[in-house]
Every structure is written in C-alpha cells, then in structure tokens.
C-alpha cells in the first residue's frame, strides 16, 4: 500500500545529523520503502547522508512516501517523530 503525507519540520535545527540518524533508525524498524521529498529532491529514509542533503530546515514541508506492508505503521511513527521535534530539547 502506497501512502503519502506532508509534514512540517518543526525542530529548530531541522533535519540535521542527529535527527536524520533517528529517522533512519526508525525507518529501518519497518518493512516498507520510505522516501522523503523536499522540493525537487528526494531521499530514501535509510540514508543519513541523503536525508541531510535535502536541507530541510525548520518551517519547511517534506512529503513522506511509504510503500509496503508496514506503510501505515511507518508513516505514523515517522510523522510522530517529526512532530515531536526528533525528541530534542531545544
């Protein structure tokens, strides 16, 4: 099942190394192909470097695309992580 959702990056530092690492670790727990899209660029959610190359800063919107048997659970988990500011205390 393929699902898409747009989410605003709300943490102060955006999708930096620590946040990208948390996202990759979370994505790897799900049986789904997960991609983040920002503008004309996209990155697989299992690559810290690719996620950082999106340059998604605070206030920017990314589209999350999940495909696979775990797509719904993956989408819920990743959306929650982003909305919770990657568990960072700012």
The confidence band for 26, taking pLDDT boundaries of 50, 70 and 90, is very high
- Per annotation, catalytic residue among 3, 10, 16, 33: 16
Quick check: 83 pLDDT over 90?
yes
Q: Give the CATH number for residue 49.
A: 3.30.1340.10
Using alpha carbons only, how large is the chain's radius of gyration in Å? 12
Spatial neighbors of 23 by CB under 8 A, at least 6 apart, are 15, 36, 45, 51, 78, 81, 82, 86
Which residue is it, tokens 């955006």?
14
Task: Work out the percent of the chain whose per-residue pLDDT is above 90.
Answer: 96
The domain in which residue 27 lies consists of 2-87
Active site residue 30: no
Q: Please answer whether residues 56 and 13 qualify as being in contact, where contact means their C-beta atoms are separated by less than 8 angstroms.
A: no
Residue 89 in this model has a pLDDT that exceeds 80: yes
Backbone phi and psi for residue 25, each to the nearest 5 degrees, phi listed first? -60, -40
Domain count, the chain: 1
pTM: 0.95
């Amino acid at each position: 099942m393929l699902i898409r959702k747009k989410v605003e990056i709300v943490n102060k530092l955006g999708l930096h190394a620590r946040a990208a690492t948390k996202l990759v670790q979370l994505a790897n727990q799900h049986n789904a192909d997960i991609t983040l899209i920002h503008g004309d660029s996209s990155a697989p959610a299992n690559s810290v470097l690719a996620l950082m190359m999106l340059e998604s800063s605070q206030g920017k919107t990314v589209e999350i695309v999940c495909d696979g048997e775990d797509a719904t659970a993956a989408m819920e988990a990743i959306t929650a992580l982003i909305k919770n500011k990657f568990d960072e205390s700012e």
